Amino acid sequence: MELNRNQYFFIGLVVLLIGVQLRMVSSYTLTHEATKFLAQRTQNSATQTTVFNLSTDVGALPKKVINPPEWLGWCLMSVGCVLILHSLAMKKPGS
């Protein structure tokens, strides 16, 4: 499948906005369900997995906090800008 000008522009805009969001927010706190899902998929230590499996009280589960690195936001914003500029340099669809 070949991407046209509009698709490059949209992908660039989405990547740019994700990069801006990563720059504006310093950390993300996952829900209990997402934390449990990640613990089961990443095969944490046996004691931590046991705690997750034995805990029936949702409030007892510790929430995972993700701190994205600073460079990730800048990288995504740069890639998004390049994609947007590339889309503007392409010829219009149907031409």
- If one counts the domains in the chain, the total is 2
* Residue 95 placed within a domain: no
| Mean pLDDT of the chain, nearest integer | 84
Predicted TM-score (pTM) above 0.85: no
pLDDT over 90 (residue 45): no
Q: Are residues 57 and 78 in the same domain?
A: no
Measuring CA to CA, which residue among 86, 94, 74, 66 is closest to residue 24? Answer: 74
Q: Which of 15-19, 21-25, 30-34 has the lowest mean pLDDT?
A: 30-34
What residue type is 41 in one-letter code? R
Q: Tell me the two tokens of residue 48.
A: 């931590």
Q: What range does the domain containing 19 cover?
A: 1-26+68-90
Contacts of 76 (CB under 8 A, 6+ apart): 15, 16, 18, 19, 22
Asked whether 39 and 49 are in contact (CB, 8 A), the reply is yes
